Amino acid sequence: MKKHVLALLLALMLCVQLTLPAGAAFRTYEDVQEDHWTTSSVERAIDLGLLQGKTEGAFGWGQPMSRAEFAVALVRLFGWEEVVPDRSTFSDAAPDSWFYTAVETAAANGALSTGSPAFRPTDGITREEAASMLIRGLGYTSLAGYAAENESPFSDVTTNKGFITAAYDMGLMSGTGDGLFHPEDVVTRELGAAVLMRLYDCLYSHPIRLSSSSAYWEVAVETPLADSNGILPTTPLEPLTDLYDALREMKESGTNMNRVVLSLNGGGIRTLTSYGVVLSSETLSAREVEAVLSRSDVNTYYSERYESAYCIYQPNAYQTATVWYQNDESMAAKLQLASLFGVTRYVLR
């Protein structure tokens, strides 16, 4: 998970106002269709400064969105700090090109695949490439690898399966009908605006903490305790892959995701070992985790694989304690994933 996204979600949790590049209030372009399903997305994307018209009087309706234009819009949407390296990452993205800074910034934040020496900035971005950039930009490259193991909802997808599956599961991109995705089709500017605004609405939604989940369907990922005298386990709270599976299963079952609440462990799990042998395992409250973290001998860590914090200390010369616990960063990562499935309410248990 990218730290810029986590910082963004933390700001939302603290009700801090997020800002995007200033855009002029929307004015009507002569080629924007009034009654098309993407019209409101086009208007909002322009008003937020994510997209601009192709000319003074035309948006470029129906025209392909270039790979460079999509990368620029993503940089603006995520609010990434500009990256301007001395040497170009791609052979066809020169430092004096209008898109250079945005492309380099997107690449530095993992949104672009750097396996090819060329970026092809003026090519129209395909549906497959857009899905890949979206999921990479969210920091979910590893999650896409995991999603690739699931059955694809589309019969015509043979490459980038995990990225397309994840983009579909998260509601960022849909199929074209009859179980097809048409991965090689080029994304038009108005369709690109619609995809960008779907992502925007998920990322910039305000998570709502509830005192009880009684009025909602609850989605939760339980972390089992370690068995005494067993092998030292890894006990992260709500690993992202497990949470992804739980959300995906609930969505595929037809559940109204607006009526779902995410249940998160607000404390932690402590496992006590001696010379590699598990002595005990227990749940800790948030207050008990705070007490552990206040110790002078505790070493804290963060697992990006699991999106969970953990710490290690020695209560005595013969024992080692490992505590996996919830912190602001891990909670932000899980709230972000939940929001991409349409779940914006949560409880801490």
pLDDT of the residue at 21: 44
Tens digit of each residue's pLDDT (9 = 90 or more) over 187-202: 999 999 999 999 999 9
Please give the helix or strand (H or E) that residue 48 lies within, else none.
none
Q: Are residues 212 and 194 in the same domain?
A: no
Q: In the chain, how many domains are there?
A: 2
Q: Are residues 23 and 121 in the same domain?
A: yes
Q: Are residues 191 and 222 in the same domain?
A: no
Q: Nearest to residue 263, comparing CAs of 246, 251, 248, 249?
A: 246
Q: Are residues 195 and 293 in the same domain?
A: no
pLDDT band at 233 (very low <50, low <70, confident <90, very high): low
* Boundary residue ending a domain (139, 170, 203): 203
Q: Rounded mean pLDDT of 150-160?
A: 91
Q: 3-state SS of 302-314?
A: EECCCCEEEEEEE
Q: Are residues 181 and 90 in the same domain?
A: yes
Q: Are residues 174 and 254 in the same domain?
A: no
Q: Are residues 193 and 227 in the same domain?
A: no
Q: Are residues 176 and 240 in the same domain?
A: no
Q: Are residues 103 and 124 in the same domain?
A: yes
Q: Are residues 86 and 23 in the same domain?
A: yes
pLDDT at 22 over 80: no
pLDDT of the residue at 6: 46
* Boundary residue ending a domain (179, 203, 227): 203
Q: Are residues 179 and 217 in the same domain?
A: no
Beta bridge partners of 346: 209, 262
* Boundary residue ending a domain (172, 203, 234): 203
Q: Are residues 190 and 76 in the same domain?
A: yes
Q: Rounded mean pLDDT of 331-347?
A: 94
What is the span of the domain harbouring residue 310? 208-348
Residues near 208 by beta carbon (within 8 Å), at least 6 away in sequence: 344, 345, 346
What is the pTM (predicted TM-score) of this model? Answer: 0.86
Radius of gyration from C-alpha coordinates of the chain: 22
Q: Rounded mean pLDDT of 116-143?
A: 95
What angle is formed at CA 139 by the lines to CA 191 and CA 101, rounded to 5 degrees? 70
pLDDT band at 10 (very low <50, low <70, confident <90, very high): very low
